Every structure is written in structure tokens, then in C-alpha cells.
Chain A
């Protein structure tokens, strides 16, 4: 019998704690596959955030540390400075990365820390019950924007990849989505490239993944996938915002 598909050995045999229809599971799989394919699981160290992915250390089959809210890039910095040859990554949501941890994100990028940041953007605080996030789009209803996000009082959503692409320290910044198979395939390529760059010591890479939150969006999983296409992509256009090594022949 020929094995044509198996769970990545970079994932533990543990049930995921995510809600039905949430795309965290897909992203976990893509991260795990990428690290495994690069043969880097034994020297991988991950940082789990505060938020839905706080328990990521129960899922990834590598050494992991859990960070205070928003501080994952600072922890990763400390670890990368201790183990320069290792594969250090953070796995963060939008509230964690783009609100409370904005400074840590930007400065890790500006220093060109040799880390990979996996940024899961679902435009809401999921774990705490669906509050407005820095990436909540204008008009979007959440627990703390019950009349829809009013940009006059609540401000505008943050575009992280665009911002980081302007910084010299950033090596690679790409935004992808995981709401359809073709997009998932592209997302895998982006994540793998980020980890590839890191194993080559090329510095700071961020992959932003437009993700879903059916539970807090109040939509079915299928409706949520459509919502990404219709509402999130117009606000957060997909693409490569920066790639210092774009000219190289693809490996």
C-alpha cells in the first residue's frame, strides 16, 4: 500500500482546540509541513501567543514557549540571539500582533531578527469572545462595535504587511488567504519560503494569513469562507509586499 497522505510528523497526535470551521487547523498544518519538509523540526522553537492559538504548544511537535500578549517577537528575539542556527517562529493573531504587540512586531522587523512570524488575521479577537480587533474592517459588527466599526471614533483597520514592507529590516512580507484550495496552496508556498529564508539566515519574514472566525462572525463555516473573499480581501489585498530575494531562481 502506498501512503499518499499523512499527518505531518511536526504535528502532535492531539485534538485541536479550535472551533468547527476555523482555519487555524489548516494554518497549523501548513506551518508543520513547511518546517518538516525543510528537515528543521529538531531545531525548531515556536512561540505561542495569547489568544486562540495559546495552546499551539500542544499541537506543534517542537520545543515551544508561551508568550505574554503581544510579546512573541520579543521572546523570539531572545531565543534567536541564544540559538542563532535554530528555526524560531511565532504564531500570532491580529489582536496580539497588531494592537498590544505592535511595537514588538515592528522592532523585530527593523532589527531584521532571523525569525518567522505567522500572522493569523481574522479581523476579530476570537478567544475573548469576539471583540473589535485592530484589523476589524469598517462597518464590521463585533461585541465591542455593536453598531459596526465606526472609523470616526474607533479608527481605521491596520494593514500590517504594507507597513512592515516599508522597513529596511524586513526580508519578506506576504499576505495570503486560506479560504479556498488554490489559496491554501499559495499560502503553503509563502510559509515555506519564509522558513526557507530563515534556515538561510536571511532575517525577518512575516506571512499574513486571512483566516476565518465563524463562531464570532456569527456565520457558518462556508459563509465565513465567502466572507473572506467578499470583505477581507478588498481591505487586505493579497500579494508579496516585500521580498529581498525575489530575483532568485525558485528552489
Chain B
């Protein structure tokens, strides 16, 4: 297997192609432009479709159309563009269609900044669009993991017929790391519901999110939430690092987990019993893993590039029985390992006092 040095955004694009995606619909926005640029180069080489849409709204609507037609389709954007995509996302969820949406987050609100942030956590995990719906959200923390998650998200979104998101940030999108692409034979999943033309051989297929009858609308939502419950039970993923004997468990995902990892090592070197629990999926949130990791801990610390969004899920996960501290930077500022170490020292000092 060949190791390649690749930028995160480009690795996402190549992974998607290797995972069998031949329909990409994009729109320029920093810091995700390399995804589109790479796709525009590569798709013609694999007889795929790269289309630069007139807006993020149009791009996700094209994904909706392509997915309805049975294709493995995706789009990518960054925070302000994701806000525009929430319309299509809600329709994709309501139409029970698979799709991959990449969010290379930047600081907000508004136009914000083009620097990295994790402030779309609430949007991705709590309200990705109007209505009762969920979005499968993977939050990789290395370029290799971005690649692996692309394969996984495509598979799971088709298995569960729902949209999925790769929640990254400008730091991961722009950084270069060695990656190995898994050599897997992609077998397209059966899609008897797809719009392929009935060919005078079957009844017409209809894909809609409309249910004028409230009872039918409720049944559709209940059926969807049954799938969501199964996903919560079986698909929540996290990495645990030195949590067994930890007094303080840092909870961080994505780029922040890289920073937290350094801080935890530094803390250990100074005799502070720190560990880390890293959510790999943020919906479903690894509640059980956090509960387990926090069992012997005296305190937890959520580190985010936001004003504190995931921290609330951490508090819920430990059932409000442990103190959950928060440290974050916002608006495109990236926390440093030293800053996190300082927090660990303060918390440790409090525990020993």
C-alpha cells in the first residue's frame, strides 16, 4: 500500500472517488476550496461528474436529485455555506435519501473568519435543518481518519437512508499528512427505491418528504427515529487514551483532540493523571464511552474551538454527576497545548486542594 502526503481537503475528495462517488456538486468557499478543485480535476478522469453549482442551495439540491436517481452523491462547503444547505439537508432526511455533506468549519457567526472553528457543532448535531431529523456526523481528527470516515459515512448513509456529514475544520482541511487509501472493492448497494425510470416493468417510484396527513407524517418520523435509535445504540464511536486511571478526562474531537492529546501527554509528564476521550462520531454522541471513561475520573474538561457547544453533551453523558469544565477559543483562534495544560493544572490543583 502506498503512503501519500496529502492535504486534508484533497484526501476527502480522493477518498470519495475511491468510495465510488461519481457525482460531486460544489460551490466555492474557503477553507474547503481544495475539495472542489480536486474534484474538478479528478472526476473527468474517472468519467464522473463535477458540477460547480450557482449556490450552495442549488448544489445540495443537485445532490438530492442525484441521490434520488440512485447515485452516490456528495457536496462540500464551509460554515456559511452549510447554513444554506440546511434546506436541502432537511429534504434529504425527509425523503429518506443518503448523501454526504462535508463541512470544513470556519469561525462564525455571519461571514466570521476563514480560520478554523468548531462552532457548527450544535448545528450539525442538534438542528441540521427544520423538523425532527438527525444527521450522521463523523468528526475525524487526522487526514487518515478523514479518508476512512468518507468510506464509512457513505456506507452508513446508504444503509440507513439518511444524510451524513464529515465535520472537519479549516485546520484539518488545510494540513498535510501521510495517508493510505484502503483498497476496497466498492459494491453499489441495492436501491430498489431509486428513480431510474420504471421501464414499464414496475410501478412508478416516488420520492417525497411531503405527508399532508399528520398521522402519516408522524408514522414516517417514528420510523425514522427507530432507525436513529438503532444508530445511537450501535454506531457511536470514540477513542480512549489513558482514561483508565485518569483523574481528569479531557473530551475533545477533531483538530482540538490533537491539541488536547499533546496537553494530556505534557500533563502526565508533570505527574497529573490526565486522559482523553475523543468522540469520533458526534451524532450519535458516544455517551456510554464518556460515562465509562468518566467513572473513575474526578473531573472532566471539554476543549473546543467554540464558546462551548459539545460540553453540554458531555455534562449530559456523565449525568451531571461529575464537574465538567470547559476551555475554548472562538472566532477562528486555535487553542495551544500549553493553554490546555494550564487548565489541567488549575483543575488538578483544585482537586488536590
Contact = CB atoms under 8 A, between A and B. Distances in A.
Nearest to B57: A71
Nearest to A12: B204
A41 B66 CA distance: 20
Interface residues of B, number: 40
Contacts of A68: 61, 64, 87-88, 91
Interface in B198-213: 198-201, 204-210
Interface stretch (A81-89, A117-125, A213-221, A227-235): A81-89
Interface stretch (B67-75, B155-163, B223-231): B67-75
Given A74-B58, A78-B73, A79-B68, A63 B208 contact: no
Nearest to A17: B212
A150 interface: no
B62 A77 contact: yes
A63 B54 contact: no
Interface in A154-206: none
Nearest to A67: B61
A63 B206 contact: yes
B204 A71 contact: no
Question: Which of A54, A57, A66 gathers the greatest number of chain B CB atoms within 10 Å?
Answer: A66
A131 B64 CA distance: 29
Contacts, number: 133
Given A42-B200, A62-B198, A103-B58, A82 B207 contact: no
Contacts of A107: 53-54, 58
Nearest to B48: A81
B65 A74 contact: yes
Given A45-B69, A104-B54, A65 B195 contact: yes
Nearest to B73: A78
B207 A65 contact: yes
B88 A78 contact: no
Contacts of B55: 103
Contacts of A48: 208
A65 B95 contact: yes
B41 to A, nearest CB: 18
A86 B68 CA distance: 14
Nearest to B91: A68
B348 to A, nearest CB: 51
Nearest to A87: B197
Interface in B294-334: none
A61 interface: yes
B49 to A, nearest CB: 5
Interface in B6-28: 23, 25
Given A42-B201, A45-B195, 17 more contacts: A42-B200, A43-B199, A58-B206, A64-B208, A65-B68, A65-B95, A65-B207, A74-B59, A78-B68, A78-B73, A79-B69, A79-B195, A81-B49, A82-B23, A103-B55, A104-B58, A106-B54
16 contacts: A41-B198, A42-B199, A42-B200, A62-B198, A62-B204, A63-B206, A65-B65, A65-B207, A65-B208, A71-B61, A74-B64, A78-B64, A78-B71, A78-B73, A79-B65, A82-B49
The 5 closest A-B pairs by CB, nearest first: A78-B65, A75-B65, A74-B61, A78-B66, A66-B208
